[in-house]
Structure 1
Amino acid sequence: MFRRLILVLALGMAACSPSEPTPQFHAVDTPRLLSEWGQVGISGETLRLGEGVVAYDLNTPLFTDYALKLRTIWMPEGMQAGYREHETLDFPVGTVITKTFYYPLAEQAGAVMRGDGHALIDAEGDLDLSRVRLIETRILVHREDGWAALPYRWNEDQSEAVLHRYGDIVPLTLVGTDGEAQDFNYVMPDVNQCASCHAPDSNTRIISPIGPKPRHLNRDFAYPGGPMNQLDYLTEVGFLTGAPAPADTPRNADWTDLNATLEDRARAYLDANCSHCHSPVGPADTSGLDLEPGIAHGPALGICKLPIAAGSGTGDRRHDIVPGQPDESILLFRLDNIEPDQMMPEVGRSTIHTEGVALIRAWIESLPGDCD
């Protein structure tokens, strides 16, 4: 009861703030400026959430060139999402989901630092712009005729983001924890590329969110009233109905959590980065590879499976996964690659996720058996 009181008070205080943006649902028109959506906005040197907008995070996020991501959900008053155990929450028409990509600033002028995947926001959902560089904000909006995916690029003075239907390329210098700098091109997807990734069913090709599934959301988050399970919080603020207790809800591991098993960490990583394509109905269904978290060890998971149509993407390796032999496994070859006809995922990154590759390498090394 005390936690709920704190939550209500915090939400009430936030609602009184004059500097908060006012969220809008644009049912037909598509604004040129991100600020017209009112989901996030600039106040001085702070990126603030709109009134009633809820930030969230994922247990294991998709890797995007070491960018950090601020994720938000908003629905018009009185609307709720329905709980679905193994699928994305059933969001109503009017829902707006955003994902803002940004990097911590490096000491080197004009350079940015590698992020660890989790947002640098405070308990109010604010982001200190003196510490970061904003790159883009992607919007998914649920309209009467379905979901629409819209990319917005932040300008140089970090005051506004502008719609870029055709994507863009942002040259960046990325500094690692060891101080080593790497120049690369951050590729901002166009509308069609956004749609291709967010159409997880190749039969319908219907666009939908990917991340807000119970197994990804079932974790604590630092809200204004204190840490709270995200599914419980969404229920408390009226955004979600029908969710069971967190203990009765599927939960993916955090791939960086060394207290979790290697198996759980690796499977969570493959789920977040690969399973939206590699599933029985996904865009990569013809590969015969299913990287969803519940798939048992065997050919469907790639173990001792012969490639079907990988072409040069095999790297002259014979099987997707060879137990105990990561360097003979196509899966690792494709993750540890940035050649357009060989890398996986095919879009969404221009760099190699060194730590993710090391995790999958260790997992493959741990697998028993052989392919003889």
Structure 2
Amino acid sequence: MSSFARISSAILALAALAGCARTPQPVHSFAEGKPDKLSDWHLVEARDGRLVPNTDVVPYDLNTPLFSDYAHKFRTLWMPKGTTAKYDAEGPFDFPVGTVLTKTFFYPKTGGDAKAVARTYDTSRDFAAGSANEALDLATVRLIETRILVRREKGWEAIPYVWNAAQTDAELARTGDAIALELVDTEASKAGRDESRPANAREAFTYVVPNENQCAGCHVTNVKAKAIEPLGPRARHINRDYAYAAGAENQLAHWTKLGMLAGAPDAAQAPRDANWHDAKAPVAERARAYLDVNCSMCHSPTGPANTTALDLRSANTDLRRLGLCKPPVAAGRGTGDRLFDIVPGKPDDSILLYRVTSNEAGVMMPEMGRNTTHKEGVELIRDWIAATSGNCDA
């Protein structure tokens, strides 16, 4: 064989090996233990300038998401082949052992220094061209962390991972992390925005990745069972369309079609929370959806805050338990010297608004998961209380 032929053969062999290296490995759902790298799971991987889900890993989204310091989120679901989740109209679906949920927190880049991230609701630049909403574009977003929830024989387990500076992989973060970031307001100049905030206003804050134990603070929604469970994949949250590469489809219908969900009714018959950011929806529905996803994991009849007698689930119809003219169970600085959780027509007299506005430890609600005030969320709650009729003096 000539030298040229030998070199050509070597090049072809290397190319073949490189092609094999790019082939995604099958998803690995670990029955126990906590792998050091997110990539060990083969669920979502940084590849070719994108964050992409593996084969049979299904992305999904919520009608109204939990507020997390303005972070955007990319959620996925994977289940072992041949298994099916059982539908539940109220609580989390009954997922089979081996199921893995991921939630990747990220921010749009601003073009400035690495810690400057965009404070925006615009998601048009989040996803890679031609991928619909199935792959993130790493040229336009900065990945912060990916949280895994895995269903094991003994129950659900939460495992946090933090993305490295190179954005090539995420590493196990048992003790959590604290990341200095700066929000740059890229939407303040748009119509309908808060005119008191100038365009490109900056707000420094510390993004906190929870440690393993802190995950239970939100994900244990039943104090008697004391078990972690998923919060997002519930009928009222995921009953919406998603932009899949093959076309938009209702998520309940899509999961059913894939054989991943059994017992779900037609989307029109399933519960559905409003999109809190949809100005066309009634303000009460938007506010109730916002409180449901941000607060009801604790404030429900079974939650850790059930002793407050405050029930912030969107399905609750008891206005007293919703907080209208309800005095707090325990007085203290968390009340801000206000007398009732919600005073109809008077948001500034309401404990609820005071606590969701505050960033002070021991006062703010929720108690964890944010280090900034959600200004648009606060204004939604203000508008809702202002439009609520009633009289606490009656």
Q: TM-score range by the shorter chain?
A: over 0.9
Matched AA of 1:24: H
Identity %: 51
Decide whether aligned partners of structure 1 residues 301 and 101 sit closer, same or farther in structure 2, where only a CA change above 3 A counts.
same
Partner of residue 202 from structure 2, selected from 162, 176, 181? 181
Number of corresponding residues: 357
Query: 1:294 Cα shift?
Result: 1.7
Aligned equivalents of 1:260, 1:124: Cα separation in 2: 24
Partner of residue 158 from structure 1, selected from 145, 150, 167? 167
Partner of 2:379: 358
Partner of 1:263: 284
Partner of residue 99 from structure 1, selected from 91, 99, 103? 103
Query: 1:197 Cα shift?
Result: 1.1
Matched AA of 1:39: L
Aligned equivalents of 1:208, 1:131: Cα separation in 2: 32
1:102-146 Cα distance to aligned partner (Å, 9 max, x none): 000013222100142869333261111010110000000000011
Matched AA of 2:350: S
Aligned equivalents of 1:365, 1:297: Cα separation in 2: 19
Q: Note the 1:183-198 alignment, pairs <5 A.
A: 183-198=204-219
1:161-199 Cα distance to aligned partner (Å, 9 max, x none): 011111110000111122101100001100011122110
Matched AA of 1:292: R
Aligned equivalents of 2:224, 2:292: Cα separation in 1: 20
Question: Is 1:114 the equivalent of 2:135?
Answer: no
Q: Secondary structure at the match of 1:263?
A: helix
CA contact (8 A) 1:69 1:118 kept: no
Q: Scaled by the length of structure 2, what TM-score is found?
A: 0.88
Specify every segment of 5 or more residues in structure 1 that has no aligned partner in the other structure, as ranges. 1-15
Question: Is 1:288 the equivalent of 2:309?
Answer: yes
Question: Is 1:75 the equivalent of 2:96?
Answer: no
User: Which has more radius of gyration?
Assistant: 2
Cα root mean square deviation, aligned: 1.6
Q: Note the 1:270-309 alignment, pairs <5 A.
A: 270-296=291-317, 298-309=319-330
Query: 1:22 Cα shift?
Result: 2.6
Further displaced range: 171-180 or 351-360: 171-180
Partner of residue 140 from structure 1, selected from 149, 163, 176? 149
Further displaced range: 58-67 or 236-245: 236-245
1:83-110 Cα distance to aligned partner (Å, 9 max, x none): 0011111111000000000000013222
Partner of residue 221 from structure 2, selected from 177, 200, 203? 200
Partner of 2:59: 55
Matched AA of 1:191: E
Question: Is 1:320 the equivalent of 2:341?
Answer: yes
Further displaced range: 119-128 or 280-289: 119-128
Question: Is 1:333 the equivalent of 2:354?
Answer: yes
Partner of 1:10: none
Specify every segment of 5 or more residues in structure 2 that has no aligned partner in the other structure, as ranges. 1-19, 188-198
Matched AA of 1:249: A
Decide whether aligned partners of structure 1 residues 86 and 128 sit closer, same or farther in structure 2, where only a CA change above 3 A counts.
same
Decide whether aligned partners of structure 1 residues 128 and 63 sit closer, same or farther in structure 2, where only a CA change above 3 A counts.
same
Matched AA of 1:69: K
